[in-house]
Amino acid sequence: MRFERHSRYSDPGRYARLLGAVRPELPEVCAVARNVIAHYRYARVPLPESTNGDINARWLSRILELDQARHPTPLTEPRAEAERVQGCCRDQVLLAVGILREHGIRGRCRVGFADYLRAGARVDHVVGEAWIDGRWLRFDPWLASPRGVIEDPHDLPPGAFLTAAAAWNDHRRNGTDIDDLGVRIGPIRYTGPPFVLSYLIMDVAHRFGDELLLWDNWGVMPLPGQWVDTALGDRLAALVLRADAGDEAAEQELAAIHSSDARVRPGAVVLQLSPRGEPPRPVAVGISPHPRGSTA
C-alpha cells in the first residue's frame, strides 16, 4: 500500500475539501478527530440513543456525512460533545490518518493495547502513525494533553503502546500472561490468545488499508472457545516486529500475506459483532458508500 494514498475506508469521497481545510499538523489533526467523534463509552456527557448506530459507520465518508448532517461547518468548528458522531479510538485514528493522506502525508492505523489510559489496566486501543522526518511517528488522537508517561501525545515514547504482535510474541516466547488483554461482550469475556490473535490479524489488515471496525470478524479470527491458529500467529507476529524495525523484506512478505491469504485478508463480507451485545450479523464491506468524486 502507498500509505500517502487513501484506502477505501479513509477515502472521504465528496467530503475531501473538509479534510484538505485542516492543517496537516498533528496537534490540529488530533484535535479535529476529538471534535468530530465522541467515544461511545467514555464521553463526558450522556450521548443520545438516537445516534447509537453511528458506531458502525465504518467508512470515513459515512462518518463525515453524519457529522455534516448535524454540523454543516468546517471540522475545526466546535461541536457539542452530545452532538458529535459516536465512535471509538479506531474512528478518531481513521479520521486523523485520512487528513494526513489527503495532504499526501503517509499515515496508517495500528491496533494493540495501551496501559496509560486507565490505571492498572492494559486497554485495547488504536493509535496512528505518520511518516515524519524519516520515521514512523506514533500518535494518539484520544489524548488531549500529557498523561502519565506520555509527555507528548503526538509522539508516543517507545513501549508506551503495545502492538498486538508484541503482545503475542511475549506470550508465546516468554510465557507472558495476556489473559487481561481483551474486552467483555455482554456476559462473555473475550480475552487472552483468541483475542490477541484476532487483534494481530486486525493490525495487519489496518496496516495495509483494510481499516475495519474493531468488532468485525473474518478469516481465522477465533471467537471465545474456538481453535487458535498459533502457527499463523507466530509467523505474523515475527513479521510485524521485523517490519516495524525497518525490515523491508518482512514488510513485503506481510503485504503478500494480506493480499492472498484468506485467513488474514478480509473478504467482501465480514461478521459484525457488537460491543453492545447485539446479535452478530454478516455485513458487506466491498464498496464504500461515497467513493471519491461521488455526489450521492
Digit-coded pLDDT (tens) for 31-77: 999 999 999 999 999 999 999 999 999 999 999 999 999 999 999 99
- 274 is written with which cell numbers? 457488537
Give the residue among 35, 130, 135, 128 at the shortest CA–CA distance from 89: 128
- 193 is written with which cell numbers? 490468545
- What's the pLDDT at 224? 93
pLDDT > 90? residue 195 = yes
pLDDT > 70? residue 186 = no
- CA gap 277, 296 in Å, rounded: 32
**Residue 184 confidence class, pLDDT cut points 50, 70, 90:** confident
- CA gap 137, 240 in Å, rounded: 16
The amino acid that residue 17 corresponds to is R
pTM given for the model? 0.96
* 157-171, 183-197, 201-215: segment of lowest average pLDDT: 183-197
Total residues belonging to the chain: 296
- 232 is written with which cell numbers? 499463523
CB 95 within 8 A of CB 61: no
- CA gap 138, 24 in Å, rounded: 15
Q: What percent of the chain has pLDDT over 70?
A: 96
**Residue 188 confidence class, pLDDT cut points 50, 70, 90:** confident
CB atoms within 10 A of CB 97: 31
Across all residues in the chain, what is the average pLDDT?
95
pLDDT > 80? residue 292 = no
pLDDT > 80? residue 288 = no
Secondary structure (3-state) at 4:
coil
- 105 is written with which cell numbers? 502525508
CB atoms within 10 A of CB 68: 15
* 73-77, 185-189, 214-218: segment of lowest average pLDDT: 185-189
DSSP state of 38: E
Taking only the tens place, the pLDDT of each residue in 109-131 is 999 999 999 888 999 999 999 99
Average pLDDT over every residue of 177-189: 87
